[in-house]
């Protein structure tokens, strides 16, 4: 079964160096010991895309929470502003 997930790669910080999971590292995980090279590459790509998708969702929720805090009268640290 082939899973295709389309994500926006621009949202990932390109200045940071990310370490990609290797086939050998994947084969150390339970259930992936006897996976073929081709299946391993497909799995690694799917995991990479899934992690980017989760990261984008996390950042979207974090940004939304910050907006809500500001609207409610707090600052970005979640502290309430004193009404003088």
What pLDDT was estimated at residue 2?
Answer: 47
Q: List CB contacts of 46: < 8 A, sequence separation 6 or more.
A: 3, 5
Helix (H) or strand (E) holding 24: helix 23-27
pTM, to two decimals: 0.58
CA dihedral 69→71→75→76, nearest 10 degrees, is 50
Q: Which residues of the chain have pLDDT under 50?
A: 1-7, 9, 83-84
Helix (H) or strand (E) holding 45: helix 37-71
Give tens-digit pLDDT for 39-59.
999 999 999 999 999 999 999
CA-based torsion, 11, 6, 19, 60: positive or negative: positive
Residue boundaries of the structural domains of the chain = 21-71
């Amino acid at each position: 079964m082939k899973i295709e997930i389309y994500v926006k790669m621009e949202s990932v910080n390109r200045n940071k160096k990310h370490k990609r999971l290797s086939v050998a590292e994947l084969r150390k995980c339970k259930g992936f010991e006897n996976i073929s090279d081709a299946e391993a590459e497909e799995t690694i790509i799917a995991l990479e895309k899934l992690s980017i998708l989760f990261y984008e969702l996390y950042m979207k929720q974090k940004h939304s929470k910050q907006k809500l805090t500001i609207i409610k009268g707090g600052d970005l640290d979640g502290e309430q502003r004193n009404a003088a």
